[in-house]
Each structure stands twice: as C-alpha cells, then as structure tokens.
Amino acid sequence: MSEKTWVAGHVKLMNVKRRRSESDTRCCTRVYTLPAQDVGEAVVCKKFFLNTLGLTCDKIITTAVSTLCGNVTVMADKRGKHEPANKFSEYVVAQIKNHIESYHPSVSHYRREHAPYRRYLSPEISIQDMHQNYVTSFPQHNCSYEFYRQIVKSLNISFVKLGEEECEYCLQHDVHKKECSAEECDLCRSWDMHVESARISRKHYKSDMEKNADDEVFLSCDMQKIIMLPRMPGIKSCVFTRRLVAFHETFAPLGGKKKQPLGVVWHEGISGRNADDVMSCFAKVLRHPSYRDTQKFTFYADNCGPQNKNWTLYTGLVGEVNRPGGPEKITIKYLEKGYTFMSADSFHSRIESELRKMKNVYDFEDFVAVINRHGIAVPMNAADFSFWANGASSAKFTRKPTLADVSIVQFRRGCTKLFWKTNMDSDDWEEGDFLKKKTASQLLRGDLFPSHCTPRGIPQSKKHDIETKLCALMSVGRRVFWGSLSVNDNSDDLIDS
C-alpha cells in the first residue's frame, strides 16, 4: 500500500487544456513527477516514470489515483489494523494479570544480581495449573493456554528449576562464533579466558574433594532458591495467600565426605537476607560443634556479589579468625559463572525432592524436619544474627582488589589484612589493608559486633491472612507456630523485595 501512496503523491491530476477530438471524454490529465536534486520535483513523461520505477504497465497508477480532477485520494492500508473479533478488552487483560499476581511471584535472592527485574514462582506451581484455575474462575472469557502463557511471559515471571544450569556466556558465544570471521576478536578472546578460568576452578574443586585432613574442612555454600511456607499443594487458597518466606543456606562437604551437610535455616519473621544475615550464617557454621576442632576452613561459592562477594562478609570473617577460639585460616574460592554446580546444589535437590514427597509442609518445624532427614538442620534465632558492618575504608592507605576479578580470598589469624588471588593457579598472594583503622583494632582485640535483640517480625496483615485462610486447614498443634510469629508493620514483605 505504501507503493500506491507514493505513486499517488507523484502523479498530479490537472484539468484538460486541449481536447484532440470531440470523442475525447477525459476529465483530467496526468502529470508525472520524480524527486530531483536541487529542484525538488522534475516533470517526466509516462514512459520514463514507469521505467524508473520498474513498472511494465500503468495499472498501479490507475488504481492509485482518483478520477476526480485535481484530487488524489488514496485509501489507507487497513491490513493488520482492524480489531480482531475475539480480542480481549483491556479489562480482561488486566484481570488475567491480577490473577497471575495473586500467586505472589517473588524476587529471587539467588538470581537477584543477574536478573533484578525477574520474579519467580515456587516449583509446586505450573502455568498449566494457573491457567486451569483461571478458566474455572472465569469461564465466560474463554482464555486460551497460549494467551495466558504470553501474559505470564510479558510480566517477566519464571519458575524455579533446580539442578545444573547452562552457561549463558557459552551459549552466547556459540551463536557468535558462527558469524565471527575476525582473527582477533575481543569476544572470542574473553570467552577463552572464561573457559580457562572455569577449567582451573573445577580442577581445584576436584583436587580439594580428594583431600583428607583432620584439622581442615572443605565446604560448598549456597542459598536454596525460593521457599514459601506453608506448602499445601492442591489447596487454592494457599497459593493465593502471601506466605512466609523461608531461607536455607547450605554448607555441604565436598563429595559427601565424613560429616553431614549443615542446613542453616530461618524465616523472614526472624531476620532478612542481607549481607550481614549471610555473614551470621557463616559465623554459626564456624562455631558449630561439628567443626570445633577444625582450624582451617575452605568454602566454595558462586560469584553472587550480594551474597558471597561483599565487604560486609569480609569484615565479619576477619573478626571470626581473630576471636578467641576462632579458626586459624578461612579461605573462599569462587567458581566461574556458569560452572558453579557443587555439593550444595545436590543437597538442595534432595531437599526439594523430600518436600514433594512430604506434600504438606505446614510450618517451619516441618521444614526443619525435612532437612534433618538428609543433613543437620541449624535453626537460627534472633540472637544468632549480628549487626555485621561494612568496615572497608576508602582512605589512601588501603589496598583493595576489584571484587569482580577475585577468584580466591583468605583471612588469617592475628592479621586484619585481606589476601587474594585473581587466578587460583597463581603461587603468589596479593595482600592489603582494607579495613578502617578503628574497625581493624576492634576486630584484632576479638571484639565482635552486637547481636539482634528482637526478631525482625512480619506485617500484621500477612500474619492475619495466613491465620484466617490457612490455619483452619491444619491441626491445632501446627497452628502454634503461626500464632507465635512476631509482628512488625515496619518490616517489608520479602516476597516483594
């Protein structure tokens, strides 16, 4: 249609100036023009006009222009512009979105760094179940599964899947290398470094897995993905209720040696999931009776900045190696992104499988019982969480690495320095003072940060919804936990943050 519009704009209809015979019934004359540099438009003959446009006949001209003298009327192209007869109104689309939001998709602490705007639903829910519920609730709209799925996708909502994940960087490079013909390509060179770093980190992981020392332990640490309590599959009111967010930070021996995994667990009524909360989990494990004779700890972690790579965690670990009775040395090794599958992930898979077998998980004690079947649950109370602070200094005397480049960090007793490597295979450690002088002196004396006095609490409205909608479906003994939850209307609902 755009061709006809262009043609109609360059064919002018003029009044007939001279008729060649009495039988000439023309009501207008066509004047053909083409764009010309400097002069705007140039008048050309019909043959030149047709040849320039590659036309073999003047049918398109006849259909493009009106027969009214001096008037050019071209109908707009209406293809794809009309409203489909079965198109849903904005009201219905908004209703579908509200139905999806009623499942309370949550921000994932596990993926927040790389997907800050994506939200996730827990694994006991599927799009098929959600769509079936919508069709049952609103049969008059006849919404198809595909349309419902597209709305879920437009809201940037995904479902949690446990297990080893593919490396997005490698997938991107697979697409790039098919089109890349340059001998020296920055992206290909960067990918080579990425693969080499992954190879080195996996080599160290396997090597440490085979080590066996009485005074040294090797653990992988990771936080399990979204967990909401209670879990009551098949109960509609459960998935539509804003439930309690629970957290599970796992510390699992490499290769499943000797000791059982420790599952440090708490919920949003006790504390949140900030850097100081994660540091409190490390402190709990370092002081656990299972490791009271251990002098050297090596943790394998992923590259999640908010969780495993931050100055608050490093400040706290300096305090742990310098406290009375603390370990001699603490090391954290970071696996390359996309290649972070470790023993903690295997433990998470077993926990998720057990949760599905158990079916109904009514309260926090049920969740603790599930972890105890495959490891050792370590419940945290408010006093176990401390106000760990970011003690990093910006003064000129400090020497700190760029955290994104670090592959291994270490903390040593009797010292407040940070030791690090950017390559695990390197023999030499870099070191530097990174703490504020006052903080360094405090930690060197063994003075630690104060503990929380009271639980964090949850909003009263959230507790009320759980008690009124879900507690009636539980036995009386299971309702005690929900009735004892601390309330604090100043606390944010961690489903949304």
What pLDDT band is residue 202 in, cutting at 50, 70 and 90? Answer: confident
* pLDDT tens-digit series, residues 293-350: 889 999 998 877 667 778 999 999 999 999 988 899 999 999 887 777 888 888 888 8
pLDDT tops 90 at residue 494 = no
Question: What confidence score (pLDDT) does residue 113 get?
Answer: 45
The arithmetic mean of pLDDT across residues 426-449, rounded, is 89
Q: How much of the chain, in percent, has pLDDT values that exceed 90?
A: 27
**Per-residue pLDDT tens digits for 254-288:** 875 567 899 999 999 999 888 889 999 999 999 99
Please give the average per-residue pLDDT across 405-421, as a whole number: 92
Confidence of residue 162 (pLDDT cuts 50, 70, 90): very low
Overall residue count recorded for the chain in this entry: 497
Instruction: Indicate the average pLDDT of the chain.
Output: 83
| pTM across the whole model | 0.69
Give pLDDT, residue 70: 44
What does the pLDDT average to over 471-484?
90
**Across 60-64, 126-130, 285-289, 432-436, least confident range:** 60-64
Of residues 78 and 127, more confidently modeled: 127
pLDDT, position 15: 82
pLDDT band per the 50, 70, 90 thresholds, residue 72: very low
- Percent of the chain clearing pLDDT 70 (strictly above): 89
- Predicted local confidence at residue 163, as pLDDT: 45
Q: Which residue has the higher pLDDT, 412 or 111?
A: 412
Q: What is the mean pLDDT of residues 104-117?
A: 56
**Residue bearing the bigger pLDDT, 197 or 186:** 197
Structure confidence by residue, pLDDT tens digits, 224-245 = 877 889 988 878 888 888 889 9
Question: Is the pLDDT score of 361 beyond 70?
Answer: yes
Mean pLDDT of 447-451: 85
User: Which range has the worst mean pLDDT, 16-25, 268-277, 407-416?
Assistant: 16-25
pLDDT at 281: 93
What average pLDDT score do residues 138-143 get? Answer: 87
Q: Does residue 69 carry a pLDDT above 60?
A: no
pLDDT at site 182:
67
